[in-house]
Structure 1
């Protein structure tokens, strides 16, 4: 009874924003189902959701006092649920095949991007250290989730987090659309699996990775195995957010103690990444069973995959709605420049790393 009451209260508080986002989601699925549009645009529902969301973003900001809660719920909670359920696309064997090399690749990317962000942001662009760290975390690890997690630890001004999230969202969207196009043109000269790794190790948001693989599937028949590689590598970066936050907390707390300060907040742990791992193990078990609790396991897996796709499209629509280009360009040009530099380093540096690691990962 309490569970249904909690669910009712959540739906009530988020109703207007959820309905608004749901309309975009429904229209996105409709557009992606029309054969003529699909053949000419090669865009999946995820891509349509972002485009329509961006187009309606001025309307969202105009009426955000009514819509904000539901849209934010879609962008954060439904995204996490979608990523958790994405585990039904992956088995433990696939995760183990990536293994230590995948973690090493993810670790190298996080370390290099974060250090470059702090150096370039502070020394060259003359940004404050907190803003540079936030943009670096968002670019290196998992986008807005990393920014918000680090922001809560740093106790920085909300405006810094907004700018950092804005920069990550903008470049995440740009590269999410760019990668499938480059792959379809064979510009990068990477096979499917190597391209999946490239997406997973360089795209900003988890939603960007999922979106890019979905678009690539629709454009050039990108394989499910390559899409799984992309998500696995990306989730390894997400999982590394945990030790990253702990290390940053330790370093800054030590510095603050020397300076006589003690204002560090409790670390925010990305538990959804750990639940994602549990779902992968559950899916591995179901994969070898005909029935589970009297229900055919394939029916369960298919239903979870469908729910996952719906949640992801909701998150993509909400992500597009929150893009405020005018305000971002006005108030954060140097932050924008830092995010651009980091995105280019991710692109070219990530490409080089994938070429070096593809022999052991593909």
Structure 2
């Protein structure tokens, strides 16, 4: 018993660093996540945004000290766990319920937005990593997509800064869209289904989609949520494609000077995402369990983004430049116009 415990402890310390530091770092990120949720529930601020900003305020903990290994573990491993558990929200039944034409519009919106980001980044002099990160987050599901895509892209010295900027930007833009888009849709005289498709197909984060949809009507809210989950289901194939495309491209050496380890052919968290989605599609995950896994995923991502925030200072985010802001705003506007145009064409 003692030997087994010792062996497990030794393996864990070899993989992640000192156990005490691991626990302390996770605990700090968890407390920040709980505080962010409290602020969200009592003051209406997006929880992800609060977790990010509070995390940045505690940046000094990630620079040195006993919490560093736990913060790194949370920002990487807990993040991937949260993305994997998102699969429990997805089922084939969701896809069938909307119809082939609208599903095609939503999927095409994801593809063309990422392509637009690639072209726009070249035009503005930004790198392809930044293009895929921002384009994927706008096209799919905001902060969750940004974190999942960042996990498979080759790393460089700007990776963490770009991730923080993207999460901050899509959260702010999503909150603005939650307020403005329902007004635009109703002004254009859309019916409830069209409003739901527009809101679910354009707003970045799930929470803001739900808020915007149900602010119009129950029918619009249900349709918006359904469409949004179809966009979320695109996360696995997009991340898998990126992982395969850039698997042979080396990341920069890490902070310890060790060369980066070549990633697996298919990232484990992508496989887990697809397994959960498959089980849910087959009806093998009870509704109560699916709800629990969905909530667990939300908390894991909230805690992970707090850790990501702690790993980067506010100054480095501002260093990203005005072109980056132009790009992510342009991507958001492009997606909205594309979905609007598609809806009028299919009408």
Q: Do these two structures clear the TM 0.5 threshold for a shared fold by scoring above it?
A: yes
1:70 equivalent in alignment to 2:52: no
- 1:111-190 paired onto structure 2 within 5 Å: 111-121=115-125, 132-141=127-136, 142-147=145-150, 149-152=152-155, 158-183=156-181, 186-189=183-186
> 1:344 aligns to what?
329
For residues 76 and 187 of structure 1, the distance between their equivalents in structure 2, rounded to whole angstroms, comes to 38
Check the 8 A contact 1:102/1:361 in 2, yes or no: no
> In terms of mean alpha carbon deviation, does 215-224 or 62-71 score higher?
215-224
After superposition, the Cα gap between the structure-2 partners of 1:13 and 1:167, relative to the gap in structure 1 and judged at 3 Å, is same
Check the 8 A contact 1:106/1:233 in 2, yes or no: yes
After superposition, the Cα gap between the structure-2 partners of 1:171 and 1:29, relative to the gap in structure 1 and judged at 3 Å, is closer
After superposition, the Cα gap between the structure-2 partners of 1:279 and 1:346, relative to the gap in structure 1 and judged at 3 Å, is same
Encode CA deviations 1:144-195: one digit per residue, 9 max, x unaligned: 543453325xxxxx323344334323322322322223246x2454713321
For residues 332 and 162 of structure 2, the distance between their equivalents in structure 1, rounded to whole angstroms, comes to 19
For residues 230 and 350 of structure 1, the distance between their equivalents in structure 2, rounded to whole angstroms, comes to 13
C-alpha RMSD of matched pairs (Å): 4.0
**Equivalent position SS for 1:108:** helix
Check the 8 A contact 1:176/1:212 in 2, yes or no: yes
> 1:300 aligns to what?
289
Check the 8 A contact 2:53/2:309 in 1, yes or no: yes
Check the 8 A contact 1:87/1:279 in 2, yes or no: yes
1:280 equivalent in alignment to 2:277: yes
After superposition, the Cα gap between the structure-2 partners of 1:298 and 1:242, relative to the gap in structure 1 and judged at 3 Å, is closer
**Equivalent position SS for 2:59:** helix
1:14 equivalent in alignment to 2:10: no
For residues 311 and 213 of structure 2, the distance between their equivalents in structure 1, rounded to whole angstroms, comes to 26
Shift in Å, 1:104: 2.5
The runs of 5 or more residues in structure 2 that have no matched partner are 137-144, 187-193, 251-261
For residues 67 and 345 of structure 2, the distance between their equivalents in structure 1, rounded to whole angstroms, comes to 47
After superposition, the Cα gap between the structure-2 partners of 1:243 and 1:308, relative to the gap in structure 1 and judged at 3 Å, is closer
For residues 320 and 163 of structure 1, the distance between their equivalents in structure 2, rounded to whole angstroms, comes to 9
Identify the match of residue 313 of structure 1 among 279, 283, 302.
302
- 1:223-262 paired onto structure 2 within 5 Å: 223=221, 225-237=223-235, 239-244=237-242, 246=244
After superposition, the Cα gap between the structure-2 partners of 1:238 and 1:353, relative to the gap in structure 1 and judged at 3 Å, is farther
Encode CA deviations 1:234-265: one digit per residue, 9 max, x unaligned: 44155224334555679x99xxxxxxxxxxx6
> 1:354 aligns to what?
339
The runs of 5 or more residues in structure 1 that have no matched partner are 122-130, 153-157, 204-208, 254-264
1:24 equivalent in alignment to 2:32: yes
For residues 85 and 266 of structure 1, the distance between their equivalents in structure 2, rounded to whole angstroms, comes to 21
For residues 180 and 319 of structure 1, the distance between their equivalents in structure 2, rounded to whole angstroms, comes to 25
For residues 225 and 304 of structure 1, the distance between their equivalents in structure 2, rounded to whole angstroms, comes to 22
Higher helix share: 1
After superposition, the Cα gap between the structure-2 partners of 1:244 and 1:327, relative to the gap in structure 1 and judged at 3 Å, is closer
For residues 15 and 305 of structure 1, the distance between their equivalents in structure 2, rounded to whole angstroms, comes to 24
> 1:125 aligns to what?
none
After superposition, the Cα gap between the structure-2 partners of 1:144 and 1:73, relative to the gap in structure 1 and judged at 3 Å, is same
> 2:253 aligns to what?
none
1:198 equivalent in alignment to 2:202: yes
TM-score w.r.t. length of structure 2: 0.71
